[in-house]
Amino acid sequence: MTGVQTCALPILGNSVHITIAEILKNLQITGKVISLDEAKETAVNKFEILIQNKPLIEKRLGFKLKPEEREKIRGQIKTSMTTFYGSKWLTMMQDMPRDMWDNWHIDPDGYGEFRIEGKKAYAKPDLLFEYKDGRHYLVEWKT
């Protein structure tokens, strides 16, 4: 495979997705956010763990990652983390009163059925929360 199209690689999105969810869960519990550099390193490490089983990746996806493709993916992972840290979502969540943090739904389990103020909703968002102004947000990372 030449000119790897990383958007087609689930491992790229998975490493970023998992890292963002962990960052928000950590914020929810401790009130702290890891540094951007630590977030980038964590996401890249998750990518490396996911591709350690090369025969599985090669068999499932039908190609071997060349060193330059692997490096390109690492760069895209770092860019994705930088984008998240620069997004309004992290700022909004840090800005919310702490007593609202327990109501965050970060990467919720299940198949997309949940309730908002007693009303049934169907979606599989990566994040669902009510902001301090009373509006509800459904967020998809699009990693």
Confidence check: pLDDT of 116 > 90: no
Cβ-Cβ contacts under 8 Å for 46 (sequence gap 6 or more) = 14, 15, 18, 19
- The pLDDT assigned to 26 comes to 95
Residue-level pLDDT at 4 = 37
pLDDT at 108 over 70: yes
Helix (H) or strand (E) holding 33: none
Cα 127 to Cα 40: distance, rounded to the nearest angstrom: 20
